[in-house]
Amino acid sequence: MKRLTMVLACFALVSMAVSAQTAKIALQHNGNVTLYDADKMTDAMTAAADGDTLYLNEGTFGGDVTITKKVSIIGSGAATILDGAVKISIPDTPTLTAHLLDALNIQKSITVTLPVNDLKIRKCQFVGMSFDAKVEGVTFDRCYHRGGTDSPFRLSSNVKQMNAINSKFWYITGNAEYAGDANFVNCNIYEIYNSYSSYGRATYMNCIIREWQYSGSSYHSNTTTYVNCLCGRDYFTNSVNQNCWNYGNTNILGNGTNCSLTDDQLKSNNYLGTDGTVVGITGGSTPFTLVPSVPKVSEYTIKVDTQTKKLNVNIKVSAN
């Protein structure tokens, strides 16, 4: 019993320490960990080497962040707040192998200022997105863009081979006519602004789209493709569409990026994607979630064997 009491006391102390800790940056390099205060991101980035990981716990990290190394910055989800803009400025046109940003709540925009290949952003919230330098191969996996007309998700001719999967977008704009292979799969999109009279070479598959704004004589280019999309209004003039549905009004996403219909309602109306699951962010093989991908304990049991005087601990670990 004393051993069990000691173990439970240790658990309690660890829990108290974790809950009381302030926002910290943990730089992992060659198996060693160095801690930095929340306002020392520049110092941590300077000390980091390519391939390192910066772990951010819950809390607020003030100031802008400029990423200059091939690192991974991993947060704890919505409670890890980057209270500034993020600039991706890694020299020598690197090809990234890991997620650059993961499980972060970014309060301002993300801007790519130097060319980069295979950029991956997962389970992050952010306000605006701009590609000011060439990006070949970019993936947004279960992300939430919440910027409006002043902070849009801005496509440009710098974007090549972009994939957005099970993500939410408030406002998409930019010169997509020259953006090569921009693909949106199982996404909820509040508004697309077609300022160039053509929204070319983009594909929307299994998406829910509230509406478009436009200028010029046509809504979409004939190089824009829609497959199994549910749309607030019928704006498919000059576009290529396959098995799409007109909801009849823009209330499909209401005043936000969450669908006004439940999954059961989507199914009953046969609003299904190419894979048979519902259209929008809850369909597909990776439904939308901002919960971090790091392993977490989902179940555990602790038993004391009085005969052998051993403590048996069973832990079930899962990851999103």
Identify each DSSP E strand in 127-282 by its residue range.
129-131, 135-141, 144-145, 153-155, 159-165, 168-174, 180-185, 188-194, 202-205, 208-214, 225-227, 230-231, 240-242, 245-246
Determine the length of the chain.
320
Strands 135-141 and 159-165, bridge-based pairing: parallel
Cβ(199)–Cβ(175) below 8 Å = no
36-95 residue pLDDT tens: 999 999 999 999 999 999 999 999 998 999 999 999 999 999 999 999 999 999 999 999
Mean pLDDT of the chain: 84
Give the contacts of 244 (CB within 8 A, at least 6 positions apart).
226, 227, 228, 229, 230, 231, 236
pTM for this prediction: 0.84
Cβ(228)–Cβ(242) below 8 Å = yes
105-114 residue pLDDT tens: 999 999 999 9
Radius of gyration of the chain (CA): 23
221 pLDDT band, cuts 50/70/90, is low
Q: How many CB atoms lie within 10 A of CB 7?
A: 14
What are the residues facing 130 on neighbouring strands? Answer: 111, 154
Record the tokens describing residue 170, joined without a space.
């408030």
